[in-house]
Amino acid sequence: MTRLLAELLERSSNIVAFTGAGISTESGIPDFRSPGGIWTRYDPRDFTFDRFVESADVRAQSWEMRRELLATVPEPNPGHAALANLEDAGRVLGVITQNIDGLHQLAGSSNVVEIHGNAREVMCIGTAPALGTPDGCGFTASHEWAMERVDSGDQDPRCPHCGGLIKSATISFGQALNPEIMDAAANLAGRCDAMLSIGSSLQVYPAAGIPMRAKQSGARLAILNDEETPLDDAADLVIHGRAGDVLTPAVAAVSSANGDGVGEL
Ligand code: NAD
């Protein structure tokens, strides 16, 4: 199977990876289903966008959850590194990720479209956001900026520019996706000649529609996941395995655009 993946990558020069929580489990970040995953201890219905906006108590609980979630900075793993190596070889258009952990960038991938945002940043969502849609002034800051305010006794930090609510720069349950970011993802999916879906259950829409868009635009679709997904029947190649274990040898076997072996980088 690794050889088939290496062959598919070798025949492709404009590869896009679509990644989910499964590429980061090998960095110690649990996905939604794993025992000990954050949502086995917190009820997601308590953290919908509308509840966050409506309730100062929910906002205070949210900061405590985020303190726990981001207490340690995980390291990228061999799966992230393999994708960065494939980019160094000149074969990758970009990475579209559902993850909010920033590990692709830490591994060295440069064109990363984060459709669910980044948990290490916070943003202003305005003074009167409604219907799941942020209405902020554009202010952003680090997660640490917000935690410093919470630690100094302000359970409900506000935007220093417009007084709006401050929220993690991630897409919460019930929150609209950013249309510009979804357009960027759709653009990449429409231009690639191979779409590699890695570590995603492919059950969360509209994000999970991105690999199918690539397939419908003529790209080959490979799915690498440790369990079946609803799109397996539509894929050109399906590998059930662990992301790092499969990607590392497959990418090492691919030559770079200038003829060097990726494994020698
Ligand atoms: P998911 O939890 O629904 O699915 C992850 C899939 O990866 C599962 O099918 C699982 O069997 C598989 N998997 C787990 N470890 C793997 C490994 N080592 N190799 C290969 N496959 C592996 O996650 P999803 O599809 O990404 O979507 C759910 C949502 O979870 C997304 O919105 C995402 O924002 C959020 N999420 C993100 C993180 C993160 O940023 N690291 C972590 C948890 C959840």
Q: What is the pLDDT of residue 1?
A: 77
Q: What is the pLDDT of residue 262?
A: 53
Q: What is the pLDDT of residue 39?
A: 64
Q: Residue 212: which pLDDT band, with cuts at 50, 70 and 90?
A: very high
- CA 140–ligand 1 middle distance (angstroms): 26
Torsional class of 164: left (φ above 0), alpha (ψ -120 to 50), beta (otherwise):
beta
Ligand 1 atom nearest 243 alpha carbon: 19
Cβ < 6 Å from ligand 1: which residues? 20-22, 24-26, 29, 31-33, 98-101, 116, 199-201, 203-204, 225-227, 242-243
Return the axis-axis angle of helices 179-191 and 209-216, rounded to nearest 10°: 40
Q: What is the pLDDT of residue 205?
A: 85
- CA 159–ligand 1 middle distance (angstroms): 32
In this prediction the pTM is 0.92
Distance CA 131, CA 174 (A): 8
Give the chain's count of helices (H) and strands (E).
10, 9
Distance CA 24, CA 26 (A): 5
Work out the mean pLDDT of the chain and round it to a whole number.
Answer: 90
For the residues 99-104, what does the mean pLDDT come to?
Answer: 96
Q: Would you call 257 helix, strand, or coil by DSSP?
A: coil
Residues with Cβ within 8 Å of 81's Cβ and at least 6 positions away in sequence, in order, are 107, 108, 248
For the residues 115-130, what does the mean pLDDT come to?
Answer: 90
Asked if residue 59 has pLDDT above 90, the reply is yes
